[in-house]
Amino acid sequence: MRVLLLSDIHANLEALEACLAAAPSFDVVANLGDIVGYGASPNEVVVRSRELGKILVRGNHDKAVTGLIPLQDFNLMAATAALWTRDQLTDENLDWIRGLPRGPLPLPDHGQAQLVHGSANDEDEYVVFLGDAIAPLMTSTVPLTFFGHTHQQGGFFAGESGADAFRPEYRTVGQAESVTFQLEKDMRYLINPGSVGQPRDGDWRAAFALFDTEAQVVQFYRTPYDLKSAQDRIFAAGLPSRLATRLATGR
Ligand SMILES: [Fe+2]
């Protein structure tokens, strides 16, 4: 089975379409949440996400736009975008987002992998540093966890010789590229496919990954997308301009 892993699309339609165009063949899509929030194409991205299948977990922005969590915990920019998004979404799309399940969700037909937004212990937890990753790595009921939320492609692993973080290393900053990551036996992994719609790892290109369950390989991808169009939509919507400008630097 080949699983296309998408996370943190954040209503960036141009980035999502670029990822789907760049992706090799796949059997199913696993969406790790934050489908909306920040970007200016929430309805289009929800419709596209619904077309892509039923394997999804909710993110904190999905909860915020539907009122499942209060906006007090959000910074002003995120809260402004959440309120704008709530206003834009059709009732049907809002209901669909409200019904998204909380992670962890087992990867269907696999048994050894799970899908979360933050971590299996707390759907809103940010697993940024190795110190954050130790507990989720060691307490996980399955060896392989795919997560999002941090908008940073890469992850963490643990085995007999200890634990460490890793990031895919790319050669360029502007071309379509991919990096192969081979999973090893008797190791535990937390793997983040990166953010489709708002990368924060210093690389502006849209990020995703593909998990081949037979080969036990995770292939990481970065793909350029129509940045200017995504930015122009954000400006035209009257959303905070920083939401557009940050896309250019991946921060
Ligand atoms: Fe996010």
pLDDT in tens, 76-91: 999 999 999 999 999 9
Distance of CA 47 to the CA centre of its chain: 17
Type of residue found at 222:
R
* Interval 184-190 mean pLDDT: 97
* Interval 200-205 mean pLDDT: 98
* Interval 110-130 mean pLDDT: 97
Distance (Å, whole) CA 168 – CA 63: 30
Neighbours of ion ligand 1 (CB under 5 A): 8, 34
Three-state DSSP class for residue 80: helix
Task: Give distance in angstroms: CA of 59 to centre of ligand 1.
Answer: 7
* Interval 126-154 mean pLDDT: 97
* Interval 182-201 mean pLDDT: 98
* Whether the predicted pLDDT of 117 surpasses 90: yes
Q: What Rg, from alpha-carbon coordinates, does the chain have?
A: 17
* Interval 68-75 mean pLDDT: 92
**Predicted pLDDT of residue 70:** 92
**Predicted pLDDT of residue 122:** 97
**Predicted pLDDT of residue 73:** 86
* Whether the predicted pLDDT of 41 surpasses 90: yes
Residue 58: is it exposed, middle or buried by C-beta count within 10 angstroms (0-12/13-18/19+)?
Answer: buried
* Interval 44-64 mean pLDDT: 97
- Tokens (6 digits) for 243: 């939401």
Task: Give distance in angstroms: CA of 176 to centre of ligand 1.
Answer: 22
Model confidence at 130, pLDDT cuts 50, 70, 90, reads very high
**Predicted pLDDT of residue 103:** 97
Task: Give distance in angstroms: CA of 119 to centre of ligand 1.
Answer: 13
* Interval 199-215 mean pLDDT: 98
- Determine contact, residues 123/99, Cβ cutoff 8 Å: no
* Interval 8-14 mean pLDDT: 98
Task: Give distance in angstroms: CA of 35 to centre of ligand 1.
Answer: 8
Q: Residue 168 half-sphere exposure, CB side, CA atoms within 13 Å? A: 26
Task: Give distance in angstroms: CA of 221 to centre of ligand 1.
Answer: 18
* Interval 169-194 mean pLDDT: 97
**Predicted pLDDT of residue 165:** 98
pLDDT, tens digit, 9 for 90 and up, residues 225-249 = 999 999 999 999 999 999 999 999 9
**Predicted pLDDT of residue 7:** 98
Model confidence at 188, pLDDT cuts 50, 70, 90, reads very high
